[in-house]
Homo-oligomer: A and B are copies of this chain.
Amino acid sequence: MKIGIVGTGHMGSGLGKLWAAKGHEVFWGSRDPEKAKRLARSVPANADGGTVAQAFAFGDVVLLATPWSAATYALKSAGPLAEKIIIDCTNPLKPDTIFELEIGHTTSAAEEIAKSVPRARVVKAFNTIFAEVIHSSPLFGSQKANVFYCGDEKQAKDTVARLIRDIGFEPVDAGPLKNARYLEPLAELVIQLGRGSVGMGPDFAINVVRR
């Protein structure tokens, strides 16, 4: 396949090298065409480099691997894109921090609940797993289903982690309560996978897999 890659950073260079090694033709495009050419020369075969416009023109598939803030600018450099497949791997992070989304929530159910009961200690947990898994078993082969939890007070979080572990699940600390802004959409992803058009059914878990 002919794959244009816009961006020579960590994502674009890594994916391009892997695809080139598998025999696909890769063309990296950058605002600094010399950098793209150098990257291409570092690859044994199937790679070339140049401008962003050239990368768009080259690929039947184009990987958009710029920072989000540069994505719109990059797309303006593209010629006609009819029928081309654009793989978007950007995330709309705020320009000055990777810790917030520019397009995203500004609150969550958990934060609203915490606001309504200011003296209690709220921990978000168990929202990313189907009840069916709780009613059947936390074990998937040798792996325990993960339960993400987040909150602002260590002692409360430790207690909840113990209650998760007690019944055979693996607690995964997901940081402060504000991160419910990411756990609640994860639940919606789980619903889409299990109950939506993807049709996976409820018997799965979302796990953090480490080496």
Give CA–CA (A183, B176) in the complex, Å: 20
A-B contact pairs, 15 of them (CB 8 A): A18-B168, A21-B167, A24-B166, A71-B109, A75-B117, A81-B120, A83-B121, A84-B120, A85-B120, A90-B127, A140-B209, A148-B189, A206-B208, A206-B209, A207-B209
A140–B64 Cα distance when bound, in Å, is 26
Please report the C-alpha to C-alpha distance between residue A174 and residue B108 in the assembled complex, in whole angstroms: 22
A197 at the interface (CB under 8 A from B): yes
Contact present for A89 and B198 (CB under 8 Å): no
Q: How far, in angstroms, from A71 to B120 measured CA to CA in the complex?
A: 15
Given A125-B87, A198-B175, check contact A10 B135 (CB 8 Å): yes
Residues 158-208 of A contacting B (Cβ, < 8 Å): 159-160, 163, 166-168, 172-176, 179-189, 191-193, 195-198, 200, 203-208
Q: Residues 86-115 of chain A: 1 if any B CB is under 8 Å from the residue's CB, otherwise 0?
A: 111111110000111101110111101100
CA distance A156 to B84 in the complex (A): 9
In chain A between 102 and 160, which residues have their CB closer than 8 angstroms to a CB of chain B? 103-105, 107-110, 112-113, 116-117, 119-127, 131-132, 134-135, 140-141, 143, 145, 148, 156, 159-160
Other than the given A68-B109, A99-B188, A182-B185, 7 more pairs (CB < 8 A) read A3-B163, A82-B119, A87-B126, A91-B188, A103-B107, A103-B184, A203-B210
List the B residue with the shortest CB-CB distance to A22: B166
Once bound together, how far apart are the Cα atoms of A163 and B174, in whole Å?
31
Determine how many copies of this chain the complex contains.
2
Cα–Cα, bound, A126→B71 (Å): 15
Whether the Cβ atoms of A189 and B204 lie closer than 8 Å is: no
Q: Which 6 A-B pairs have the closest CB atoms?
A: A10-B131, A14-B134, A185-B185, A81-B120, A182-B189, A89-B126
